[in-house]
Structure 1
Amino acid sequence: MIDLQHVNKSYGQGATAFHVLKDINLHIDQGEFVAIMGPSGSGKSTLINIIGFLDTAFEGKYFFQDENVADFNATKASRMRNRHVGFVFQNFSLIHNLNIFENVLIPLSYGGHRRSEVRGKISELLESVGLTGMENKLPRNLSGGQQQRVAIARALANSPQFLIADEPTGALDSHTSADIMQLFKELHRKGGTIIMVTHDEHVAEQSDRMIKILDGQIISDTEVAHATK
């Protein structure tokens, strides 16, 4: 599904250019649960920005389902993000003056769906993340774990081809983190493709495949032995 070939990314030009990604070759199949690890500044965020169609200005080739992403203009990249990618962030990125229903509605409204058309679907999404009956609550009235569940429901709204989860447990305590990882594993069991960035090795070990990045290069790409499913 995702095939990066000799991808390089630099910021700036000439002698002051900063080479962020260096000859990245990466293949991710549909249905994989992949963890990407590396210290701050290693290139993790740049890599997922490219994978998630947020950045199309790079050298090399990126084929998504056999389409060359380097050929996308801004409009096509935006359309691909909305249709094919669900994003989950460390800080939840919820809109705090909108209730839970309205937050989950956001990506659906970009596709032209009206509230009345998707009410049932949003109720099903909230049920799938354990938030049945909480549609009218505001984010400030939820725990951190509940806010992340809203963010996951929102990420799933358009039935994306894959999820990008950027430090999804970074703002949570250990108990809540475990609950959120159980939710990701359940999504994976149902066939979901998940690409997760994390600093936490314990969290990464719950994936099926761990990729480590250092100084813009992939230094290891291994299957996780005895992954907790």
Structure 2
Amino acid sequence: MAPKIPQIVNCGSSTLLEYELEHVRHDLSLNETEETWDKIARAVQYLEAIAKGTTQDLFPELVSAVKLLARPITNALLSDRSRLSGHAAELVTTLATCFKRAFDPLISAFVPSLLQGCARSNKVFVSKSKACLMAIVEHVQSPLLLPHFRSSVSDKSLSLRLIATELVLACMNCFNPPDLETVSRAEDIETVIRATATDASAEVRKCSRSVFEAYKILLPGRLDECVIRAILY
């Protein structure tokens, strides 16, 4: 029987961090098969334990290491095996929770795959992907997330459109307001409102109205007659 994965692997030096990372690189990069998927899952869990035990001063090194492992981690996120994809989602959630804004370099690596998970037909995959994305919004609070959500609100998948709209609303509820006041981020939000205000789904339209109400409070300076007309019509 394989040994139990520890909850935390303490890494207080660069040497120790590199030593522990060597434990996961090989198995994490295996091609997924019936014979290898459990090894991959265990490597994902071990990497999560490393993240929990790495001291803050080593976060830049760990971020760089994770970025090099982004492809096998995203492969695990998109696996049809719920246990493997679930462990990968838990890993990314832990990374976001630990790193906070230091997670920024990993947004483009993991967020598109998590959004893809929100469009799957299996509700278990959708739920885990959504929970992970919500954790990223809450703990990272990065305006770099908004363009990813904006591009998803026009997707053919209803579940993805709704979740992307909910994620934008979550951003508006917890982000530092100055991060939303830049022209590019304000335009992201306006694009989301325009795309979702007339969505075929009543749920999406309802969430869109909530986004617009938050927009009026956070960005009153952009609420001139021209902008209102563009958003509502």
- Normalising by the residue count of structure 2, what TM-score does the alignment of the two structures yield? 0.28
Of Structure 1 and Structure 2, the greater strand share is in 1
Of Structure 1 and Structure 2, the greater helix share is in 2
* Structure with larger Rg: 2
Greater RCO (Cα-Cα under 8 Å, separation 6 or more): 1
